[in-house]
Amino acid sequence: MDRLVESPALATHTQDRVIPTEQVLGIPIAVVDLAQAIEIIERFIQGDSPQLVVTANAIAAVMAHDDPAFADEVRSAGLVTCDGAGTQWALKRGGHENAAKVTGIDLLEQLCRLSSDKGYRLYFLGGAPGVAEEARNKLQLRVPGCNIVGCRDGFFPVDDDDLVAQEIAEFKPDVVFIAMGMPRQERFFLKTKHLLGAKVGIGVGGALDVFSGRTKRAPEIWQRLKLEWLWRALLNPKKLKNLKNLPRFMWLVKTGK
């Protein structure tokens, strides 16, 4: 098996821009900050082909390590960001001392702000019934002019993916934020991107729950201490089972197995 954290960084091309990336458990995570990630996504919006954006934390990296099909899907993305202290630690081990976190929450909020100025058409998909609507309503109060053109919950069977995509396409979105958890959210976009008509699909996990107010984001001190993952697990005991993958992630990165 090839090394799991590899230097020098790989390179991904986005038009005339070269994005430095680092292999973490076999997936190429872009070494970018929030502003750079947004610049890349704006290029995608102006581009000719739909692009997937994956926000990858340690759990996602382990999932891709264990599931070759999901690993291939992640590698097909136009952009994979570092969404967590674990992947940030791995990037630093690869020589990127100033590696920044770029979370789904941050991407969603920043693109909402840009949509107010630039008219980008955003669509929220996912969460339990009512969550996407609550997130939209609160963000429109928080960011006046935020251009969220539609939303719906993520409670539908895989067999209905094409039908849901066709319904979303009627809103003519530029960006679809998909909050259905990995790998469901990424697979939905890759399967239906030819129907959606959107230039960008971004998997954002529990971000809509946060913006709806049903889940609280970790306080700033927890974020600075890189304990946001623990805060989420304490608020949602269902996530506790994922914590066992954190020491395994570190072991895999350190040993290269």
Q: What is the mean pLDDT of residues 93-121?
A: 95
**The pLDDT value given to residue 2:** 34
pLDDT band at 1 (very low <50, low <70, confident <90, very high): very low
Residue with more model confidence, 70 or 244: 70
**The pLDDT value given to residue 72:** 97
Sign of the CA dihedral with 186 first, then 183, 90, and 238 last: positive
22 vs 31: CA distance, rounded Å: 7
Task: For residue 5, give the 3-state DSSP assignment.
Answer: strand
6 vs 143: CA distance, rounded Å: 40
Residue with more model confidence, 84 or 6: 84
- For residues 27-65, b (16+ Cβ closer than 10 Å) or e, as one string? bbbbbbbbebbbebbbbbbeeeebbbbbbbbbbbbbbbb
Residue 227 Cα to chain centre, angstroms: 19
Burial of 92 (0-12, 13-18, 19+ CB in 10 A): middle
143 vs 129: CA distance, rounded Å: 23
**The pLDDT value given to residue 246:** 79
Phi-psi region of 145 (alpha: psi -120 to 50; beta: other; left: phi over 0): left
11 vs 20: CA distance, rounded Å: 5
The full length of the chain comes to 257
Mean pLDDT taken over the chain: 87
**The pLDDT value given to residue 6:** 35
Tens of pLDDT, residues 40-89 = 999 999 999 999 999 999 999 999 999 999 999 999 999 999 998 899 99
Tens of pLDDT, residues 186-242 = 999 999 999 999 999 999 999 999 999 887 655 666 556 555 555 555 555 555 556
**The pLDDT value given to residue 3:** 34
**The pLDDT value given to residue 214:** 83
pLDDT band at 11 (very low <50, low <70, confident <90, very high): very low
How many secondary structure helices (H) and strands (E) does the chain include? Answer: 12, 9
Whether the per-residue pLDDT at 180 is higher than 60: the answer is: yes
159 vs 257: CA distance, rounded Å: 37
**The pLDDT value given to residue 19:** 79
**The pLDDT value given to residue 225:** 53
